[in-house]
Amino acid sequence: MIKIISAVILCLLLVSCGPAQDGHGTREYNNPSSPFFSLASGTYVGEFKGGKRNGQGTHTWGDGTKYVGEWKDDKRRGQGTFRMSDGNKYVGEWKDDKRHGQGTFTWADNFAKYVGEFKDNQLHGRGTFRMADGLKYVGEYKDGLWHGQGTLSKADGYKYVGEFRYNDMHGQGTATWPTGEKYVGEWKDGWRHGQGEFWSVDGSKYVGEWKDGRQWTGKEYDLASKGTGGGDYDKGLEAYESGDFATALRKFRPLAEQGNVDAQYNLGRMYGEGYGVPLDDKTALKWYTLAAEQGHADAQFVVGAMYRYGAGVPQDNKTALKWLTLAAEQGNAFAQTYLGTMWRYGQGVPQDNVYAHMWWNIAAASGHKDASKNRDEIAKEMTPAQIEKAEKLARECVAKKYKGC
């Protein structure tokens, strides 16, 4: 009797019920309690064996996300292509329903591309990562991060060859700058730290100890003597905007360490973009977070985006949602647009087109072009009643100054 009841329950979770089938067929999966991208939802067209997906087949989810490739015992295994509705794409090997083996992951709009090894859905092993802005990393990965031997190069001619640890230059390495400067020696957490040799543009050479990126004489730096007033910040900002990043760094760092929120935000930008310092998402996140915790809306947006994409930190939609909501409540149109996307695809929240339309409508009113386009596209999938509800929610949200939406 228990087996019969279990079979009935399983049948109810599938739109097409029947005996275990072999050969080619179509089956719709409709388990309402399953996550949106679970294999227990969507439509499968392909080969079956013993009632399970086995062989070649195509699984399509409700938002258009699609997997085409090999299956074994109801799991993606072997070669396959996974196209996501947000434009991201993976082509390569799968094992037990995870990206595993050799593969290529391409981000939407060719923002970035990775070719190499995967393990349990993470970049792991040897691989090559390229970004549209010219940044390139070739080397070893561990759990999605640069880790081991690698080479990092940028479009401006900067190059580092050596050891990495969790996305930071760490261990022995050699860096060369487009100005002709060169450093050979030890690194720690992205900084020149330990014994090293440095060749300046004028041909002079320093051989000795380094600490936190600076030549070390055994005496702590007197950060307080560098000033904390608005004048230093203004000079730092002027230097930053003119491309004099060395001066900007000298002005911003002591201010940021003493709690200046704008200096913290700008330090985050410098490390996040690699302006005057090695590109370092982990350090960028540190400074952005300090600014975000003080209520800086742009910093809150960037922290949310970094958690959403897993930049410098493990990907975490719930934490992303927290920071994006705080930024959106301050009227940040980029954060509002991101919230619309998260509601659209059920990332950290239940999938809901009404709330996606609401946030995109609010962001569009602030002039965000992508939000306007997204709102118009999703409206094609909604009923007039749903659109009316979304517009009402948007008006109420604006009236509440974006709080509690």
pLDDT value for 70 = 97
pLDDT value for 9 = 36
Could you tell me if 100 and 93 are in contact, meaning their C-beta atoms sit under 8 angstroms apart?
Answer: yes
Six token digits for residue 270: 């410098």
pLDDT value for 228 = 36
Measured between alpha carbons, how far is 43 from 326 in angstroms, rounded to an integer? 37
pLDDT value for 185 = 95
Six token digits for residue 139: 């080397």
Measured between alpha carbons, how far is 379 from 313 in angstroms, rounded to an integer? 34
Reported as a single tens digit per residue, the pLDDT across 196-243 is: 998 877 778 888 888 777 777 654 333 322 333 456 788 888 888 878
According to CATH, where is 1.25.40.10 located in the chain?
Answer: 306-405
* CATH ID of 221-294, from 1.10.10, 1.10.287, 1.25.40, 3.30.530: 1.25.40
Residue 123's H or E segment, with its range, is strand 122-131
Measured between alpha carbons, how far is 19 from 211 in angstroms, rounded to an integer? 69
Six token digits for residue 37: 């991208």
pLDDT value for 2 = 39
pLDDT value for 225 = 28
Residue 137's H or E segment, with its range, is strand 136-142
Residues of the chain with pLDDT below 50 are 1-20, 219-229
Q: CA 144 from chain center: how many Å?
A: 11
Residue 342: what residue type? M
Q: CA 77 from chain center: how many Å?
A: 26
Measured between alpha carbons, how far is 192 from 59 in angstroms, rounded to an integer? 49
CATH number of 306-405: 1.25.40.10
pLDDT value for 181 = 83
